[in-house]
Amino acid sequence: MFCKNCGKDLPDESQFCPYCMTKFNTETKIEPQSPEKVKKNGKKLPVIITAAVLCVALIVSAIIVVPKLVKKKEDKGGSPLAGETLDAENAIAQDSQTTAPAEVKIMPENDNALGLMNVKLRNEGVELSDIEKLIVQYFDTDYFRAPYSSLQRYPQVYKDAQINFLCHITKIIESNAEEYTALVEYEAYKNSEGFYWETGDYAVIKGTQSETRIMEGDTLYLYGKYVDVNTYTVDGKSYTVPTVLVNRYSYFSEYDRVRPMYSMEEIRSMAKYIFGDDIKLRYTKYGDVAGSDYDYDLYEGLYYTAELDNQSNANFTKYLFFAGYGGYIIDCKSEYPVERNLTFSADFEHFYLEVFDKSLKVYTLECYDRDLKKIWSREFDQTTSSVIDYTKDHIYLVANGSMYIIDAKTGENAVDPKYVGAKSEVRKLEDGILLVSHKSADAVMKTDLSGNVLWTANLSKDMTEPSAPEDIPVVQLIGGNYVIQYNAVTNGYPDGTYTAVITPDGTVDFDGEAF
């Protein structure tokens, strides 16, 4: 229709003209559409026809496709549930989905990963995050106490070995924002009264700067990797001496060799990695550990207590972290004769709670995820001692004289247990499992990846029974050989520190006193 006042083209149902605001009544005559309007509407006809054709095509497609897709689903063993509607879009989407590949299960005979106990900070090919590097360092106690003469005379034996020693900083050779190089006097120290114990033996240490920098005159307990014997010129004087890459150090105390190696922030980061952010960390105080009368207050900075805000899980309320060399994490509820210790798994996404009841002779191993959810639990009866190593896929445990290879995901035996006798150390190698006993006969044993014995080797001395951490033999893989340092015993009495070098085929190349 058209407005009689201004002549504008309007919709037929218009009650007024929006251009001139003229109102119409019901008797208003509706003018016939102009030829131009008819032509304009005629242009819409092909569009309408096309849309109708498309609608018909979609309906036909749905009638044909949907039954075929439903039949395909039924042929695969599925059927629509009662009340289920399946439109074309959903059917096509379901048909196009691909099933996720099933996780490949690694069998023990194919698990050639190195056990976590053998992973070292400076191993070639080791790729770890910062928190994973910290965890590896924290639990690592594989450091030799090597005599200076041996480092000079037998560099091929100690090359790439981890060693620890006391040293006095003689000269800072180079220092920048990132790194430092220093000349040190090996096994020398200066006490608070100014007394200086000299040895005349020198080494060069190289390390990464920390917040607190070392200075000339400092005395350190140093832990690092032996590189080789190299020649340096310092203040015009030539030194041909061992070179050591520093992993960690603590400052010397003439009263106590146990000094903090880890800061509060480092302990806090590990505690949060296990328990989450909702914790409180503080220095451990007297009474924190059940049944202990140890005065932790005397060692500020050496022990920390992490207490969870959420106390609803009885297994995880309060834990003690040791900040010295040979770190450990114990449940503050541990009370003799029950020990409760935490350690990390090789994937760093789970951790293990070890519970050892010495009176009942029962060892329990439990696996938890980082939400503190228990994944599985195993008990081992008649167990007076246990040693453990693990890869991402398997756990290698010696308990009650038997070696168990356990599926790390389920806690079930991956192979039948093998009797191997009491052991003081177990190490998962790339091609087998190395076991160490404190008895000289068959002191070292190697099995294949499934636990079948390949060879045994005798040593010249018995070892001290591992009743304390310092009694546990130190095992390192150096130049393809197995190097073991142990506290020797003759007729029940200490007989010095010995070092044994054993080749991959079980030949004892060397077994003698290290000092």
Q: What is the 3-state secondary structure (H, E, C) of 205-271?
A: EEEECCCCCCCCCCEEEEEEEEEEEEEEEECCEEEEEEEEEEEEEEECCCCCCCCCCCCHHHHHHHH
416 Cβ partners below 8 Å, 6+ apart?
A: none
The model's confidence at residue 27, banded by pLDDT at 50, 70 and 90, is very low
**Distance from chain centroid for Cα 113:** 14
How far is 472 from 355, CA to CA, in rounded Å?
Answer: 20
In this predicted structure, what is the pLDDT of residue 229? Answer: 97
In single-letter form, the type of residue at position 461 comes to K
**Averaged pLDDT, 105-122:** 92
What average pLDDT does the structure give for the chain? 85
Q: Which of 433, 424, 428 is nearest to 462 (CA)?
A: 424
The model's confidence at residue 205, banded by pLDDT at 50, 70 and 90, is very high
For residue 109, how many other CB atoms are within 10 A of its CB?
A: 13
* Of the listed ranges 85-94, 106-115, 230-239, 326-335, the one predicted with least confidence: 85-94
Q: Is the pLDDT of residue 94 over 60?
A: no
How far is 320 from 274, CA to CA, in rounded Å?
Answer: 13
Q: Is the pLDDT of residue 221 over 70?
A: yes
Q: Which of 275, 371, 291, 379 is nearest to 329 (CA)?
A: 275
In this predicted structure, what is the pLDDT of residue 293? Answer: 85
In this predicted structure, what is the pLDDT of residue 294? Answer: 86
**Averaged pLDDT, 362-366:** 97
The model's confidence at residue 190, banded by pLDDT at 50, 70 and 90, is confident
Q: Is the pLDDT of residue 401 over 80?
A: yes
In this predicted structure, what is the pLDDT of residue 16? Answer: 61
* Of the listed ranges 11-15, 131-135, 154-158, 360-364, the one predicted with least confidence: 11-15
In this predicted structure, what is the pLDDT of residue 93? Answer: 44
In this predicted structure, what is the pLDDT of residue 105? Answer: 84
Beta pairing, strands 202-208 & 237-251: parallel
207, 222 Cβ separation under 8 angstroms: no
pLDDT tens per residue, range 263-305: 999 999 999 999 999 999 999 999 999 988 888 888 889 999 9
How far is 55 from 63, CA to CA, in rounded Å?
Answer: 13
Q: Which of 274, 283, 363 is nearest to 320 (CA)?
A: 283
Look at 448 and 15; give whichever has higher pLDDT.
448
Residue 377, classed as helix, strand or coil, is strand
Q: Is the pLDDT of residue 75 over 70?
A: no
Q: Is the pLDDT of residue 2 over 80?
A: no
In this predicted structure, what is the pLDDT of residue 156? Answer: 84
Q: Is the pLDDT of residue 449 over 80?
A: yes
Look at 77 and 229; give whichever has higher pLDDT.
229
How far is 294 from 284, CA to CA, in rounded Å?
Answer: 11
**Averaged pLDDT, 184-206:** 92
In this predicted structure, what is the pLDDT of residue 53? Answer: 45
Q: Is the pLDDT of residue 26 over 90?
A: no
In single-letter form, the type of residue at position 142 comes to D
User: Residue 508 — φ and ψ, nearest 5°?
Assistant: -85, 105
- E strands along 370-504, which residues? 374-380, 386-390, 394-399, 402-407, 418-419, 425-428, 433-436, 444-447, 453-457, 462-463, 474-478, 481-490, 493-502
User: Residue 151 — φ and ψ, nearest 5°?
Assistant: -65, -35
In this predicted structure, what is the pLDDT of residue 470? Answer: 78
Residue corresponding to tokens 């029940």? 492
**Averaged pLDDT, 175-201:** 92
How far is 230 from 464, CA to CA, in rounded Å?
Answer: 36
Tell me the whole-structure pTM to 2 decimals: 0.78
Question: Counting beta carbons within 10 angstroms of the beta carbon of residue 42, is it exposed (0 to 12), middle (13 to 18) or buried (19 or more)?
Answer: exposed
How far is 387 from 423, CA to CA, in rounded Å?
Answer: 7
% of residues, the chain, pLDDT over 70: 79
In this predicted structure, what is the pLDDT of residue 133? Answer: 93
The model's confidence at residue 396, banded by pLDDT at 50, 70 and 90, is very high
443, 476 Cβ separation under 8 angstroms: no
In this predicted structure, what is the pLDDT of residue 505? Answer: 97
The model's confidence at residue 467, banded by pLDDT at 50, 70 and 90, is confident
- Output the DSSP codes for 457-494: E--SSEE--SSSGGGSPEEEEETTEEEEEEEEEETTEE
**Averaged pLDDT, 43-63:** 48
- Tokens representing 56 are 């018909």
The model's confidence at residue 187, banded by pLDDT at 50, 70 and 90, is very high
**Averaged pLDDT, 112-118:** 94
Residue 513, classed as helix, strand or coil, is strand
Our CA angle for 469, 470, 474, nearest 5°, is: 95
